[in-house]
Structure 1
Amino acid sequence: MFAAIGSSARNVDKSNFGKVDSSVMRIGPMNNYMLKQIVDAVTAGKSKQADRARAIYAWVAFYIDYDCRAHHHPKQRNNSASHALINRKTTYEGYANLYKTMCELAQIKCEVITGFAKYTPENIGLVNEKNMHAWNAILIDDTWYPVDATWGAGQTDSKVKSFTKTYNGAWFLADKELFALSHYPINKKWQMLDTPFNKAAFSISPIIGPAAIANEVYPVVMRGKIRGRADTSKKVAFEVDNPLLVRSVSVSYKYREIAPVPFTIEDNYLYVDIPFEKAGKYPVNIYINESLAYIYNADVAEPIKRPKPKPVPIRTEPVKRSPVRGAG
């Protein structure tokens, strides 16, 4: 029997996650330890399933790096959990396999999910083998939730040549709708939504950043392309569950470093004014509370060229006046 899939991650108590992350950092990488010893150490004293699963997520994300070289040589990859543990680096499949193995050692049911993921603006509109990915689903209190330890560990550059270690907890028990806009499983049931997105909706949607999940900000229009005209601004709308979470909004793109932009919130809708300074096609990054929330591809037309008004001719000769006629 398939467990519940429609429940939101808001039903999970996340209040201890910060303390869990800190405890895992204090434990450290535990080099030369067996996997079971590591699992026992990071989950010790944690009675809740969600806290134990978070501890494993944090350890994997903190201490396993992404293997960019192996990423480009799929036939030479070793995606086993043991290889990831020994070498302390792996690709997305290795992250998913390691997380599953560690969860099972902690008596947490976990599945490896394969499919496609979008993480750069070049991915918008594309679903092919170049954006293949793997992540996990875990069963917490009889409900399935998505987890991506690869994205929790950091990010690569767009060509997957270098990896930057930056821990991010947003991809653990992430909001299922936003997760489904960035991860498309081959088996659609693992979207864990009552009404799953189709591949076309996934393909054209914007890139989802961790701040969208952390602040519960949802796109009103699913298209990841916005059109505008230079020297004007474009208003983009989002739905927000808790408007008080949104303290600042900034934008950056090819011709503009990150800088604040005007925004308004009305009836749980966030409206962001994106100024277009130059024509062209380029990605637009939207930040909420100084963290990346969305990436769109902008198609900005040249400004409208209005015809210059014709100059009014100036008379240079004196005006001849008619003689004044007297009465009578």
Structure 2
Amino acid sequence: MEKIKAIIIILFGISSFAQTDDFKQIDFTKADSIAKFYHGENLDNLPLLVHKLTATFTTDVEKFRAIYTWVSTNIDNDYGSAVKNQRKRKKLMNDDYALGNWNNTFKIHMFRTLLKDKKTICTGYAYLIKELSTIANINCKIIDGYGRNIDNNIGELSVPNHSWNAVFLNNKWYLSDATWSSGYTELPTYAFISDYNDGYFLTEPKLFSKSHYPLNEQWLLMQNNPSVSDFLNGPLVYGNTFKNTIIPITPATMYIETSKKMINTFTLEISESFKIEELELEISNGSNRTKVEPTNTVITDNLLNVDYQFKRTGHYDFHIKLKDEVVVTYLIKVKRKLYHSKRSSNKIKI
């Protein structure tokens, strides 16, 4: 009976629509301060570390916040190892035996590096978040799947290349990605730059799905799950998209065909803190970048409609920016004429 009860609770949590708004009444300043106070602590004694981070809190969400912030600001991303692992896995993807051996060998290396140098890849981040949360009696899972960025899962599915966490708080599941919260890697040096991004903490599932797709679709945590095709062909989003809680709605795909005579409407779901004066549009054609003015902008409730008419034929990267940082990218092909539709938002090439 207890098992059935637990399964019902978990399924209810998955079907619920998780939102960070659920915790608007919680001030995370104290949790962040605790994480900062214990900056530099080692990983030799995880129960002691959890006690230091969570002992003063009564709510699970504050405990998880302290754990998450500490991991995101104390563990470096080992990008070089991540690249090496991905290349090896792609090479061995058709040889199950060799792939299994590599995975076991690399896992040992990854955990040794994490414990010794506090440096790891996404699997290590997700593992550490799960272990610390479990010690704090918080139900947390590692979610494996696909991460999408400018180099991965554009139009075609690669081997699984990313891991993140789902955490159970107040009878609901929430999604977080400590790896992408932690900072970024400068190329070609592979130097890791610690730069905490709060946008990946308890992220709205609709936004999370723009760059994360789990192997098990139940962990999308949405009532109407996007398809793999939606994930692969959607507009490109960035860390600043998450930081500013911008969700591209339409066009639904990154590749768009239009003509010079057409008004193109780009619809974004925005947060309450959005400021229209910070919006910028940029067109890139090869090495040339040009800022352009929208034809029109309209905000209705939490939706922003941006209209733009392209002046010349050709192929363009069309960037929607906020505070001079790119948040959404579309790839545009502008023709002289299009004969099969009246609006470019319906002329999407998949």
Under a length normalisation based on structure 2, what TM-score does the superposition of the two structures give?
0.74
1:240-319 paired onto structure 2 within 5 Å:
240=270, 242=272, 245-247=274-276, 248-252=278-282, 254-255=284-285, 259=291, 261-262=293-294, 264-268=297-301, 269-273=303-307, 281=315, 283-301=317-335
Residue number in structure 2 paired with 1:54? 65
1:100 and 2:130 correspond: yes
Cα-to-partner distance string for 1:148-185 (whole Å, 9 max, x where unaligned): 11110123368894543221011111001111221111
Residue number in structure 2 paired with 1:206? 235
Offset at residue 11 of structure 1 (A): 1.7
Q: Are the structure 2 counterparts of residues 265 and 85 from structure 1 closer, same or farther at C-alpha, using a change threshold of 3 Å? A: farther
Instruction: Give me the identity figure in percent.
Output: 25
* Structure 1 Cα separation of the partners of residues 258 and 168 of structure 2: 44
Helix, strand or coil for the counterpart of 2:223? coil
Helix, strand or coil for the counterpart of 1:21? helix
* Structure 1 Cα separation of the partners of residues 290 and 193 of structure 2: 20
1:166 and 2:201 correspond: no
Structure richer in helix, relative to its length: 2
* Structure 1 Cα separation of the partners of residues 233 and 187 of structure 2: 18
Residue number in structure 2 paired with 1:43? 54
* Structure 2 Cα separation of the partners of residues 189 and 128 of structure 1: 20
- 8 Å Cα contact 1:230-1:278 kept in structure 2: yes
1:110 and 2:140 correspond: yes
Helix, strand or coil for the counterpart of 2:203? coil
Q: Are the structure 2 counterparts of residues 158 and 226 from structure 1 closer, same or farther at C-alpha, using a change threshold of 3 Å? A: farther
Residue number in structure 2 paired with 1:312? none
1:25 and 2:54 correspond: no
Residue number in structure 1 paired with 2:78? 67
* Structure 1 Cα separation of the partners of residues 43 and 106 of structure 2: 22
Gaps of at least 5 residues in structure 2 are 1-6, 86-101, 338-350
Root mean square deviation, CA, Å: 3.2
Gaps of at least 5 residues in structure 1 are 304-328
Q: Are the structure 2 counterparts of residues 229 and 164 from structure 1 closer, same or farther at C-alpha, using a change threshold of 3 Å? A: farther
Under a length normalisation based on structure 1, what TM-score does the superposition of the two structures give?
0.78
Helix, strand or coil for the counterpart of 1:238? strand
Helix, strand or coil for the counterpart of 1:128? coil
* Structure 2 Cα separation of the partners of residues 231 and 47 of structure 1: 60
* Structure 2 Cα separation of the partners of residues 291 and 217 of structure 1: 15
Residue number in structure 2 paired with 1:124? 154
Q: Are the structure 2 counterparts of residues 20 and 223 from structure 1 closer, same or farther at C-alpha, using a change threshold of 3 Å? A: same
